[in-house]
Amino acid sequence: MSHPLPLYRPRRLRKSAEIRRLVEETTLGSGDLVWPVFLLEQEGAVKNEISSMPGCFRQSLDQLYRELEELLPLGLSALALFPCIPEEKKTRACEEAYNENGFLPKALKEIKKHFPDLTLFSDVALDPYSSDGHDGLVRDGKILNDESLEILGKQALMQAAHGADFVAPSDMMDGRVAYIRSVLDGEGFQDVGILSYAAKYASGFYGPFRDALDSAPQFGDKKTYQMSPGNFKEALREAALDEDEGADILMVKPALSYLDVIHGLSTSTALPVAAYNVSGEYSMIKASAKMGWLDERTVTMEKLTSIKRAGAKIIFSYHTPDALRWLA
């Protein structure tokens, strides 16, 4: 040949599945995944499929227990709980959010009793409980910040008292992490962690989730408290504030359109970084797979691996049950 052959051949490390596994830089494992579940307050094994999230269900506790009996042996170790609140219990003052006799505290207590080793993340925000559909209290069309903190603190305290391992403020109110940490510590719950939705963007990918909980805002949008999709440095500022205020884990939401934010945050903090692979990202793959345009298993595992490669130590994903089966 007229030109020298290459001395180094990267293909040597790709020539068999065994070698590729040996040198793979990022590997996805069952311990990386958290399963978000939508809970119904109904007796018996009930599950209702969410039309915009094929394969995802609103389900009763009895049905959840059946699912867990299958998934725990596959490595499932954590749940994120989202209760479906009936319309008649939604109010402007969001009293149901901290009702000691409500469905969520019962669910937390019962799940912990049946599965004590499961790690439970409990969402702290007012939109599922608000007749206005916003993450904070509303007055004269304005989402109130400081007035909402007291309600969020009561909500977090109730969840901690009933078995949450982590409370997860997703509301994006300023100062809520410090306020919640103070409330929890003041009541003796120093061991309950805070997973902060530190960089939660005002995204179009949340639509199916709002269908699942019927929690869409009744007016306007959430752009006065959720972040602009064009901002990166702001995410680092938000995360730094939450870290200083006492957060234990920092969340980026959504995941797929914000891999650069996940990576940037993972290199700027010593705290674990989580990412939420949200409902719209899930439903796009499900719809494409149904049409035969994509191979669901291949693209799902590629997507989840890319989120981990970007720097996420924890991935919240509706794909979790399928991913656990595929990993097994």
Given a contact cutoff of 8 angstroms between Cβ atoms, the answer to whether 171 and 123 are in contact is: no
Residues ≥6 apart with Cβ < 8 Å to 307 = 255, 256, 259, 262, 275, 277, 315
Catalytic option among 200, 222, 303, 308:
200
> Residues of the chain with pLDDT > 90: what percent?
91
Task: Report the alpha-carbon distance of residue 81 to residue 85 in Å, rounded.
Answer: 12
Q: Name the nearest CA neighbour of 81 among 183, 164, 181, 189.
A: 164
Sign of the Cα torsion 117, 191, 80, 86 reads positive
Whole domain around residue 226: which residue ranges? 27-327
Residues ≥6 apart with Cβ < 8 Å to 9 = none
The DSSP element (H or E) to which 158 belongs, if any, is helix 146-161
Residue 14 lies in a domain: no
Residue 13 lies in a domain: no
Residue 35 lies in a domain: yes
Task: Report the alpha-carbon distance of residue 209 to residue 53 in Å, rounded.
Answer: 8
Is 90 among the catalytic positions?
no
Residue 10 lies in a domain: no
> Residues of the chain with pLDDT > 70: what percent?
100
What pLDDT band is residue 168 in, cutting at 50, 70 and 90? very high
* Residue 177, amino acid: V
Sign of the Cα torsion 99, 103, 105, 106 reads positive
Residue 45 lies in a domain: yes
Q: 81 forms bridges with which residues in the sheet?
A: 37, 122
Is 200 among the catalytic positions?
yes
Sign of the Cα torsion 151, 133, 171, 105 reads positive
Average of per-residue pLDDT values in the chain: 95
Residue 7 lies in a domain: no
* 7, two tokens: 């001395």
Residue 22 lies in a domain: no
**How many residues belong to the chain?**
328
Catalytic option among 90, 154, 222, 253:
253
Q: Name the nearest CA neighbour of 144 among 100, 85, 94.
A: 94
Instruction: Give me the number of domains the chain comprises.
Output: 1
Q: Is the pLDDT confidence value at 298 over 80?
A: yes
pLDDT value of residue 237:
97
- The CATH number that applies at residue 244 is 3.20.20.70
Q: What value does the mean pLDDT take over residues 146-152?
A: 96
Q: What is the pLDDT of residues 198-248, one digit of tens each?
A: 999 999 999 888 787 777 778 888 999 999 999 999 999 999 999 999 999
Task: Give one DSSP letter per residue of 61-121, joined into a string.
Answer: HHHHHHHHHHHGGGT--EEEEEE---GGG-BSS-GGGG-TTSHHHHHHHHHHHH-TTSEEE
Q: What is the pLDDT of residues 23-39, one digit of tens each?
A: 999 999 999 999 999 99
* 305, two tokens: 């691996």
Q: Is the pLDDT confidence value at 278 over 60?
A: yes
Q: Is the pLDDT confidence value at 89 over 60?
A: yes
The overall pTM is greater than 0.75: yes
Question: 273: which DSSP letter?
Answer: E
CA 13 to chain centre: 36
What pLDDT band is residue 1 in, cutting at 50, 70 and 90? low
For 37, 271, 286, 303, the CA distances from 292, given in Å and listed in that order, are 27, 40, 10, 18
Residue 9 lies in a domain: no
Q: Is the pLDDT confidence value at 2 over 90?
A: no
